[in-house]
Amino acid sequence: MKKYRAGIVGVGFVGKIHLETVRRLGCVEVVAIADKFLAKEVAEQWGVPNYFEDYKEMIDTMDLDMVHVCTPNSSHYEVSMYALEHGVNVIQEKPMALNVQQAEEMRDKAREKGLVAAVNFHNRFYPMTNHLMNIIKDGELGNIFSVTGEYTQDWLLYDTDYSWRLESSISGDTRCVADIGSHWMDLAEFVTGLKITQVFADFQTIHPYHKKPKRNVLAFEEKKDGEEEYELVPIDTEDNACVMFRFNNGAKGCAFFSQVIAGKSVDIDLLIGGYKKSANWNSAAVNSLTIGNRDSFNEVLEKGINTVHPETKPLIAYPFGHMEGFVDAFKQCFREVYESIDNKDKKYNYATFDDGVHEMILCDRIFQSSKEQRWIDVEK
Ligand SMILES: NC(=O)c1ccc[n+]([C@@H]2O[C@H](COP(=O)([O-])OP(=O)(O)OC[C@H]3O[C@@H](n4cnc5c(N)ncnc54)[C@H](O)[C@@H]3O)[C@@H](O)[C@H]2O)c1
């Protein structure tokens, strides 16, 4: 079997998940990692044979088939463009870039080079979200008239919580929308097959300042004991976003995105209203899906090779009753992306750079809507 040579840039929170899950494919060897601070430590801990501080040196010397871009948002553009320019396929973390213009240039570069270019919107790869997509496509819910839900977290609730995501120069104009709202919107559009055409948003920031420790802080890391030395940093991005949507078939929707709701470590909820049935998927129970009926009992479907849509079966790696969660969704996404390197003609479900650009446009329009307090067209 051919082994693809992968390099990972950025091995903080999500880069280590890429490292672990891509190895589970069997057809990929992580030959190198690059990180400004953690390269040596992570390479030794995870048995990666080569490590670099500078991603350019890694791309120049390691003859890679794929670069996984897992750095903070502000460096996605430069790392991806460098990889593509040097003929290397890319799996890019979301959001795709800092702004629409960067994302469009990245998409154009990938097209020009004819390379695989994917964005890791992994929520598409849970068996039950894929099943939902397939039964909606088959018309089981009837025409869709509403798409509602939330993506809520609590890890930035206190003014002592700190992450690069709080700095708009690193994270982008929107924070909560780009960071987690983009996942929800991508999932909503993927499962329904609909496109968001108009948005109306209202943002809220609950702390005008956060206390930034005077040391390198990784995403989601545990607090250090004792007193921290810190500086006060003004916050110009949203903690909460209330967003209304109009879809291309006339359906309406709304969602609440937040990083400050106590007790919600990760809560993604998607409720779809159809003329025949409704469907509800929640990340706390990734392996199940509730189908709502008006004139009969509701059905709770559990992931299983005999219970899912025939086209969903390839996403099931373990027998009935064995959970497949967050990291398995990454693995299934990467499986498709790597397969597409040498088999370009098949239809894949992963998000491409076109989808990544679309999400950047949605973030941009939502930001504009919140500033101007009016409906904004997605396509101008
Ligand atoms: N798909 C998902 O569910 C998911 C989950 C978490 C994060 N993410 C995305 O992944 C990206 C990284 O987030 P994170 O939470 O892992 O952040 P993090 O802060 O934990 O890790 C980022 C790492 O990148 C390194 N780095 C920064 N700039 C670099 C550069 N120029 N060259 C090499 N290394 C560099 C840092 O040293 C750090 O180790 C973000 O874009 C984020 O939105 C996606």
Q: What span, in angstroms and rounded, lies between the C-alpha atoms of 63 and 68?
A: 14
Ligand 1 center to 12 CA (angstroms)? 6
Half-sphere exposure of 281 (CA within 13 A, CB side): 26
Q: Which of 9, 11, 13, 257 has the most ligand 1 atoms within 8 A of CB, as the residue to mutate?
A: 13
**What's the whole-number mean pLDDT along residues 114-138?**
98
Q: Which residues have C-beta atoms less than 6 Å from ligand 1?
A: 9-15, 34-38, 55, 70-73, 75, 93-94, 120, 122, 164, 179, 218-219
Q: Which of 9, 14, 177 has the most ligand 1 atoms within 8 A of CB, as the residue to mutate?
A: 14
pLDDT tier at 1, thresholds 50, 70, 90: confident
> Phi, psi (5° rounding) for residue 58?
-65, -45
**Nearest CA owner, ligand 1 atom 36:** 10
Q: Which of 52, 71, 333 has the most ligand 1 atoms within 8 A of CB, as the residue to mutate?
A: 71
Half-sphere exposure of 298 (CA within 13 A, CB side): 9
The pLDDT assigned to 175 comes to 97
Ligand 1 center to 189 CA (angstroms)? 25
Q: Which domains does the chain have, with CATH numbers?
A: 4-119 (3.40.50.720), 123-324+350-372 (3.30.360.10)
What is the CB neighbour count within 10 angstroms for residue 295? 4
Ligand 1 atom with the smallest distance to the CA of 79 is 31
Ligand 1 center to 370 CA (angstroms)? 27
Ligand 1 center to 278 CA (angstroms)? 36
Asked if residue 89 lies in contact with residue 341, where contact means CB atoms within 8 angstroms, the answer is: yes
For the chain, what percent of residues have pLDDT higher than 70? Answer: 97
Compute CA distances 296 → 131, 277, 293, whole Å: 21, 11, 6
Asked if residue 367 lies in contact with residue 173, where contact means CB atoms within 8 angstroms, the answer is: yes
The pLDDT assigned to 225 comes to 55
Which pLDDT tens digit goes with each residue over 202-211? 999 999 999 9
Which pLDDT tens digit goes with each residue over 340-365? 999 988 999 999 999 999 999 999 99
| Length of the chain measured in residues | 380
Which pLDDT tens digit goes with each residue over 38-93? 999 999 999 999 999 999 999 999 999 999 999 999 999 999 999 999 999 999 99
- Whole-model pTM: value is 0.96
**CA 90: distance to chain centroid?**
15
Q: What span, in angstroms and rounded, lies between the C-alpha atoms of 55 and 206?
A: 37
Q: What span, in angstroms and rounded, lies between the C-alpha atoms of 89 and 157?
A: 37
Ligand 1 center to 9 CA (angstroms)? 8
pLDDT at 215 over 80: no
pLDDT at 228 over 80: no
The pLDDT assigned to 224 comes to 60
**Nearest CA owner, ligand 1 atom 28:** 71
Asked if residue 176 lies in contact with residue 184, where contact means CB atoms within 8 angstroms, the answer is: no
The pLDDT assigned to 229 comes to 84
Ligand 1 center to 165 CA (angstroms)? 10
Asked if residue 196 lies in contact with residue 362, where contact means CB atoms within 8 angstroms, the answer is: yes
**What's the whole-number mean pLDDT along residues 244-261?**
98
The pLDDT assigned to 221 comes to 67
**What's the whole-number mean pLDDT along residues 175-195?**
98
For the chain, what percent of residues have pLDDT higher than 90? Answer: 93
The pLDDT assigned to 2 comes to 85
Q: What span, in angstroms and rounded, lies between the C-alpha atoms of 342 and 355?
A: 21
- For the record, the structure tokens of 173 come out as 């104009």
Ligand 1 atom with the smallest distance to the CA of 120 is 1
**What's the whole-number mean pLDDT along residues 97-121?**
98
Ligand 1 center to 101 CA (angstroms)? 21
Which pLDDT tens digit goes with each residue over 266-318? 999 999 999 999 999 999 999 999 999 999 999 999 999 999 999 999 999 99
